[in-house]
A and B are shown apart, each in its own frame.
Chain A
């Protein structure tokens, strides 16, 4: 299975060259050196192969052997993925810890999926059934609420000649036999899939259901569709990670794949320690029971960081194929791009912009293309939504990773340093951000809430851009120079900013807003505006509006009104009516 295919001739960081067999395949997985470190062939020239090594190469010698495996870099797929935490090449970190202690040592070889654990398998096919790739052969309850649909490998098809009866099986046990032409193939619950190859589906569906994240600035203002792709660029400390964590916690996806790609160890630990204790509002089960974590932190080997994105997306596609909505977070795609750059640099490839290889854009496109809402091979529907964090050097969005990413996503959540400094969170700049899914998801909102969300949302955006124009004037001449009608706009936009857009991820009530709460808040603020405008148009001084007690009530509503007590918004509306009514009466004459 693993014969020596070469001898190391050159080592520089994560990149190694070896000389030997001409039969080694491009992108073949190899084992490098006496410690059999995991590597992948990334270049071939005559009898010379270039290998990127997924582990630390310090101490490795020239002259050491390279072993082939004949297989491409693949992930293991099957029951047991959920609640796992893997490194970038799907090695289970808890097992590495158990074997090696607190520090990650080289040469760890562990199964990605537990071979001993038994799962209760219930078949869904019978002998004689003709099945094609992706067919659901049976099901297993992977957690108390998640049905894992055991599927035929997409590349296989044939006739079932035997299927296991209901019972307890490990992922290594045969659960079916399949006649493919002349051959009979045994099928287990475990399959391998090459990470760099997208899993196939029948066709794409229009992405018209929003991924509800419970974050008001996202859902109400810049929604991403299920199966869509969003980018969240921002300088350090602007809120990329907190936003990604919030989405991982609250998004209405059935599966979350969270990739910590070249970021902090403590942030992964935080997820590990927090998610088992947070309850998924939809299932009543711990959030961890819908989550797969990939942690290849900044201090872990850089080539494995490059692979982590593919490991994550392949796992996401696998659950999509079962008919689930999957949301994938990658924090940060810039670190992945830097890993590409580092390996490219060691290969002395011609750099394009800022040292990045010319194929950067192509790789980004391939990754984001793997998002989608699709009809699966087995006629279920599922989606993979991608939210990629981008970390532009110096916070400058004109750099290559941000710019190329923009070409492949349809939703752009631009984080802003100055908002973050003022502790306006999420620090997503409403003027620089956009979503191209607005029209697509408007129907869903109408159906779900019975309200014209898009018109209201656009009205609020209009006020915000009016505010930005007015602030320019205020900066030059002060607010007193503005007519009351314009100052009324500023009163309302303050409510929008502080009441709606600001959302504290660390506060229990505010952390997640239901769709109903979001639309009620939006409605209320616009109602305040219409009534207030009518009054100032009659000549009432703006400070009378500014001083109304209800202003404070509206701003605080996000954390005083829970998702379960939306009737309280009726009370607030009554307060508006009452307080504005008084003013209205005074200035009517």
Chain B
């Protein structure tokens, strides 16, 4: 990360065109691509922007706070000669910033000479450490069947009105480094939480703040807030500012940083808006063709590197428009992140908390963080078996809705019972319940024991002998 001091640069008076948050400025020379500008309106008020395109004698600028109040002749644009940088410091923990990284909690500017480019730089794949340490969240649907690892990016795909905030808060509150029962406590590991809000209501930010306060973590949290009534264009910067601080804390201060980004769907909308104003060729649903690369430039700022003990774990939250998982935002996110936790509308209606729709959920890194010497030997096969059985339950339910439950075969009846119990006892847990991994495995085996042994082809015969508690006498 490079350090720069912001210097004054050339100033241009008057702009050629204003369209939405986009200004076209003529007359600057040697303007840099992606350079930051300071825009002054006729009353002397300042706002920031950045260069989206430079041509011969002109530059296209995006004003973060929008263009309201800017006039053609009364606007001055000063080119600052550098890309957007924010200060980064450990003392930013416990503080609240706006979407561009300026303090809004009444406290002073962070005292540091360490500035970092909000765009970051790509991690060299050879410098990464592959994540292997699992984080125990105390939530069965995560620890058991979609295990989260340190250095993983695992989003929550949700929908309006579903308890994604509660779930995220519960994860943050309960997360501890998972370990085998009896293993020694790892001392002195420092953690931090970086929270970024994009276009969410103040209630949401307030909810998280309260939750951090209650768990006593508030002094370890830095919050970057671009709320629903804040300028939408600023949202493009907010997650990047948050990740820039996270990188500093993880890779230079060796902390384990959990980053919560909510709501990435609002971020996507801001990006789409700018793209549309600029008349770019859209790909799907009006989103720009570079949406994938743009999202990747943030989500990939997760992980571990060999030169630091620290890590960045990301939990982005997305509300899926119309609960549609094929919408470009969740779709492209899922293509980049290392799995996804999907919340289901039906489970939510049924009063199940957390309403994790297990089947479409996935943790891609799970396989590398569980099993022998990590959680328990049977864990991977046990998980696959639960998935397979629950998937079968869905088929049986569909059949039952056609021919009626009574007409189902004995085995199918057992699947129906299994499915109900799975949702009520495994998926469902209270907002404060913090289950150990052993407890989660135990519940799972109890449920699998409702099925005939012969159905359990994903686990080994030895595992059946050891853990199966059913009264099935066959085979």
Name the B residues within 8 Å of A335 (CB-CB).
292
Cβ of B126 and Cβ of A94 under 8 Å apart? Answer: yes
* Mask of A364-405 contacts with B, CB within 8 angstroms, 1/0: 000000000000000000000000000101111000000000
Residue B43 lies at the interface, judged by CB distance under 8 Å to chain A: no
CB distance from B257 to the nearest CB of A (A): 16
CB distance from A441 to the nearest CB of B (A): 31
CA gap between A266 and B336 in the complex, in Å: 11
Name the A residues within 8 Å of B296 (CB-CB).
262, 297-299
Name the B residues within 8 Å of A297 (CB-CB).
122, 125, 296, 300
Interface-forming stretch among B169-177, B362-370, B414-422, B423-431?
B362-370
Residue B30 lies at the interface, judged by CB distance under 8 Å to chain A: yes
Interface-forming stretch among B106-114, B160-168, B403-411?
B403-411
Cβ of B305 and Cβ of A475 under 8 Å apart? Answer: no
Residue A589 lies at the interface, judged by CB distance under 8 Å to chain B: no
CB distance from A229 to the nearest CB of B (A): 23
CB distance from A27 to the nearest CB of B (A): 23
Q: Which residue of A lies closest to B358 (CB)?
A: A421
Residue A104 lies at the interface, judged by CB distance under 8 Å to chain B: yes
* Mask of B355-384 contacts with A, CB within 8 angstroms, 1/0: 000011010110110000000000010001
Enumerate A504-554 residues with CB–CB distance to B below 8 Å: 504, 506, 547, 549, 551-552
Enumerate B261-278 residues with CB–CB distance to A below 8 Å: none
Cβ of A85 and Cβ of B125 under 8 Å apart? Answer: yes
Residue A345 lies at the interface, judged by CB distance under 8 Å to chain B: yes
Cβ of A62 and Cβ of B56 under 8 Å apart? Answer: yes
Residue A202 lies at the interface, judged by CB distance under 8 Å to chain B: no
Name the B residues within 8 Å of A585 (CB-CB).
none
Given contacts A237-B364, A264-B300, A556-B457, contact A341 B402 (CB under 8 A): no
Given contacts A10-B53, A266-B130, A422-B388, contact A506 B367 (CB under 8 A): yes
Cβ of B125 and Cβ of A102 under 8 Å apart? Answer: no
Q: Which residue of B lies closest to A11 (CB)?
A: B33
Residue B14 lies at the interface, judged by CB distance under 8 Å to chain A: no
Interface-forming stretch among B88-96, B199-207, B281-289?
B281-289
Cβ of B387 and Cβ of A422 under 8 Å apart? Answer: yes
- Bin chain B's interface residue count: 35 or more
Residue A338 lies at the interface, judged by CB distance under 8 Å to chain B: yes
Residue A57 lies at the interface, judged by CB distance under 8 Å to chain B: yes
Given contacts A342-B293, A422-B391, contact A59 B125 (CB under 8 A): no
CA gap between A506 and B458 in the complex, in Å: 13
CA gap between A102 and B391 in the complex, in Å: 42
Residue B83 lies at the interface, judged by CB distance under 8 Å to chain A: yes
Residue A58 lies at the interface, judged by CB distance under 8 Å to chain B: yes
CB distance from A94 to the nearest CB of B (A): 5
CA gap between A85 and B127 in the complex, in Å: 12
Cβ of A421 and Cβ of B126 under 8 Å apart? Answer: no
Name the B residues within 8 Å of A237 (CB-CB).
334, 339-340, 362, 364
Interface centre among B33, B332, B368, B461 (most CB of A within 10 A): B33
Residue A171 lies at the interface, judged by CB distance under 8 Å to chain B: no
CA gap between A265 and B129 in the complex, in Å: 10
How many A-B pairs have beta carbons closer than 8 Å: the answer is 225
Name the B residues within 8 Å of A421 (CB-CB).
359-360, 387, 391
A422 CB contact (under 8 Å) in B120, B129, B392, B399: B392
CB distance from B378 to the nearest CB of A (A): 13
CA gap between A260 and B128 in the complex, in Å: 15
A58 CB contact (under 8 Å) in B30, B34, B475: B34
Name the B residues within 8 Å of A338 (CB-CB).
289-290, 292-293
Residue B438 lies at the interface, judged by CB distance under 8 Å to chain A: no
Given contacts A102-B251, A266-B338, contact A10 B399 (CB under 8 A): no
Name the B residues within 8 Å of A103 (CB-CB).
1, 120-124, 127
Name the B residues within 8 Å of A235 (CB-CB).
331, 334
Cβ of A85 and Cβ of B55 under 8 Å apart? Answer: no
Name the A residues within 8 Å of B55 (CB-CB).
9-10, 62
Name the A residues within 8 Å of B83 (CB-CB).
58-59
Name the B residues within 8 Å of A140 (CB-CB).
none
Q: Which residue of B lies closest to A391 (CB)?
A: B335
Q: Which residue of A lies closest to B119 (CB)?
A: A58
Residue A2 lies at the interface, judged by CB distance under 8 Å to chain B: no
Q: Which residue of A lies closest to B117 (CB)?
A: A58
Given contacts A269-B125, A338-B292, contact A552 B454 (CB under 8 A): yes
Cβ of B365 and Cβ of A266 under 8 Å apart? Answer: yes
CA gap between A273 and B368 in the complex, in Å: 12
Residue A13 lies at the interface, judged by CB distance under 8 Å to chain B: yes
* Mask of B305-347 contacts with A, CB within 8 angstroms, 1/0: 1110000000000000000001110011011101110000000
CB distance from B438 to the nearest CB of A (A): 22
Residue B11 lies at the interface, judged by CB distance under 8 Å to chain A: no
Enumerate B430-475 residues with CB–CB distance to A below 8 Å: 454, 457-458, 461, 474-475
Name the B residues within 8 Å of A1 (CB-CB).
none
Main secondary structure of the interface of B (DSSP, over half): mixed
Residue A209 lies at the interface, judged by CB distance under 8 Å to chain B: no
Cβ of B281 and Cβ of A355 under 8 Å apart? Answer: yes
CA gap between A408 and B399 in the complex, in Å: 40
Cβ of B307 and Cβ of A480 under 8 Å apart? Answer: no
Interface centre among B83, B126, B151, B293 (most CB of A within 10 A): B126
Enumerate A333-379 residues with CB–CB distance to B below 8 Å: 335, 338, 341-342, 345, 348, 351, 354-355
Residue B297 lies at the interface, judged by CB distance under 8 Å to chain A: yes
A476 CB contact (under 8 Å) in B127, B326, B402: B402
Cβ of A478 and Cβ of B56 under 8 Å apart? Answer: no
Given contacts A61-B31, A266-B131, contact A341 B289 (CB under 8 A): yes
Residue B398 lies at the interface, judged by CB distance under 8 Å to chain A: yes
CB distance from A62 to the nearest CB of B (A): 5
Q: Which residue of B lies closest to A548 (CB)?
A: B475
Q: Which residue of A lies closest to B132 (CB)?
A: A273
Residue A129 lies at the interface, judged by CB distance under 8 Å to chain B: no
Name the B residues within 8 Å of A273 (CB-CB).
130
Residue B230 lies at the interface, judged by CB distance under 8 Å to chain A: no
Residue A93 lies at the interface, judged by CB distance under 8 Å to chain B: yes
Cβ of B474 and Cβ of A547 under 8 Å apart? Answer: yes
Residue B280 lies at the interface, judged by CB distance under 8 Å to chain A: yes
CA gap between A93 and B54 in the complex, in Å: 31
Q: Which residue of A lies closest to B383 (CB)?
A: A423
* Mask of A257-299 contacts with B, CB within 8 angstroms, 1/0: 0001010111011101100000000000000000000010111
CB distance from B76 to the nearest CB of A (A): 21
Name the A residues within 8 Å of B125 (CB-CB).
85, 93, 260, 265, 268-269, 272, 295, 297
Residue A236 lies at the interface, judged by CB distance under 8 Å to chain B: yes
Enumerate A38-97 residues with CB–CB distance to B below 8 Å: 56-63, 85, 93-94, 96-97
Given contacts A9-B55, A12-B52, contact A299 B457 (CB under 8 A): no
Name the A residues within 8 Å of B328 (CB-CB).
393
CA gap between A341 and B280 in the complex, in Å: 12
Name the A residues within 8 Å of B129 (CB-CB).
269
CB distance from B118 to the nearest CB of A (A): 10
Name the A residues within 8 Å of B21 (CB-CB).
none
A396 CB contact (under 8 Å) in B120, B326, B327, B388: B326
B56 CB contact (under 8 Å) in A9, A354, A547: A9
CA gap between A284 and B196 in the complex, in Å: 50
CA gap between A100 and B305 in the complex, in Å: 14
Name the A residues within 8 Å of B388 (CB-CB).
422-424
**Can you name 28 A-B pairs with beta carbons within 8 Å?**
A12-B52, A57-B33, A58-B34, A60-B32, A60-B33, A62-B55, A93-B124, A93-B125, A93-B126, A97-B126, A104-B123, A104-B124, A264-B300, A265-B300, A270-B130, A270-B368, A298-B296, A299-B122, A299-B296, A299-B301, A355-B282, A393-B284, A393-B328, A421-B359, A421-B387, A478-B399, A506-B380, A547-B454
* A interface with B by C-beta (< 8 Å): 9-13, 56-63, 85, 93-94, 96-97, 100-105, 235-237, 260, 262, 264-266, 268-270, 272-273, 295, 297-300, 302, 335, 338, 341-342, 345, 348, 351, 354-355, 391, 393-396, 417-418, 420-424, 474-480, 498, 504, 506, 547, 549, 551-552, 555-556
3 nearest CB pairs, A to B = A394-B326, A422-B391, A298-B296
